[in-house]
A and B are shown apart, each in its own frame.
Chain A
């Protein structure tokens, strides 16, 4: 079967098509709520040219943020829009991925993890500049951008 290979971090047992199917089912509803079309949280500077070694640190930070901030606080909206099924599928798969990520903590990886952290902070800073509800809606609406990036590491 296929697995994620974020550098040395390997994650099996997650089917990317299922994540896509879950998001595709809610994409138009969610993205239609986001009328700040001039702002993109997951910009090129966050996701472009990420090295394999960096990718494990970055995906861990992004998924942790999505679980701890976006999914946690968007649950009410998901219920309101009746998209809880897809919402839960995405959340559970993100939990499955993060629980299996083991980024190296060795010293020589410090500069790489720092580079990943700077990318994540770009994303987080953009998120914090928006009104909370708008930011949550935008972040959840950008899960397709995240999945498109994750697909590069899906072998």
Chain B
């Protein structure tokens, strides 16, 4: 008998980061360790629920639905059925899920290259699990047209330098040799009001070995 009981299952939701979509849930207040869970999902607008292979009768409390929810123009639902050893069960559904709206952005991958009087920062494209029709993996830059980077260099307590833009390579110039700097780089997507946590690099400019006569 299916009962919607809070004590078996709660907080069924998607956690999405860079379009990696993981369904998670919590056991209920009185769930026994031998409670098993089964996951189904569907596209919003379709009638049929589909069982997620690999997430049937499992005891863990998460299930990777990245592939199944991989079309960014679609919206999805997922639901979990918890069944206790005694045969009681409960089913709970997620809110309507859109990876475009819900995914959070991870910090970018950056190479910080110190030179004598400058620091170069090279931002590497962030690939996602989303693929085009011909199988090519899309990057965040492909998906979000207005994505740009915000770079900050902390020179000292009171002085920072800023650079920003959509391109991948930047250089902070006019720095003091043989000095440590803290760089932070974030990804920003204005239209979707998304901003990543910063990537942080601590680098020291090279000593100036040129002799002045």
Residues in A lying within 8 Å of B, measured CB to CB: 16-17, 20-21, 24, 27-28, 31-32, 34, 37-40, 43-44, 48, 141, 144-145, 148, 151, 154
Contact = CB atoms under 8 A, between A and B. Distances in A.
Given A37-B42, A40-B45, A44-B73, 10 more contacts: A17-B191, A20-B191, A27-B95, A31-B96, A37-B93, A38-B45, A40-B44, A148-B98, A148-B100, A151-B191
Nearest to B79: A37
Contacts of A21: 193
A24 B73 CA distance: 17
A142 to B, nearest CB: 9
Contacts of B46: 38
Instruction: Give chain B's interface residue range (CB within 8 Å of chain A).
Output: 10 to 19
A20 B44 contact: no
Given A21-B193, A145-B75, A32 B45 contact: no
Contacts of B44: 37, 40
Contact of A39 (B45, B75, B191): B45
Interface string B98-120: 10110000000000000000000
Interface of B: 42, 44-47, 73, 75, 77, 93, 95-96, 98, 100-101, 190-193
A17 B190 contact: yes
A43 B100 contact: no
Describe B's contact surface by its main secondary structure: loop
The 6 A-B residue pairs with the shortest CB-CB distance, nearest first, are A40-B45, A38-B47, A31-B96, A28-B95, A37-B77, A40-B44
A37 B98 CA distance: 14
Contacts of B192: 20
Contacts of B95: 27-28, 31-32
A38 B76 CA distance: 11
Contacts of B47: 38
Contact of B193 (A17, A37, A38): A17
A27 B44 CA distance: 15
A93 to B, nearest CB: 15
B140 to A, nearest CB: 16
Q: In this complex, which of B95, B191, B193 has the most chain A Cβ atoms within 10 angstroms of its Cβ?
A: B191
A14 to B, nearest CB: 13
Nearest to A23: B101
Given A37-B42, A37-B77, A38-B47, A144 B191 contact: no
B61 to A, nearest CB: 22
Nearest to A38: B47
A63 B193 CA distance: 23
A154 to B, nearest CB: 7
Given A31-B96, A37-B77, A43 B45 contact: yes
A29 to B, nearest CB: 10
9 contacts: A17-B190, A28-B95, A37-B77, A38-B42, A38-B47, A40-B44, A141-B96, A145-B75, A148-B100
A36 to B, nearest CB: 10
Given A37-B42, A37-B44, A40-B45, A16 B96 contact: no
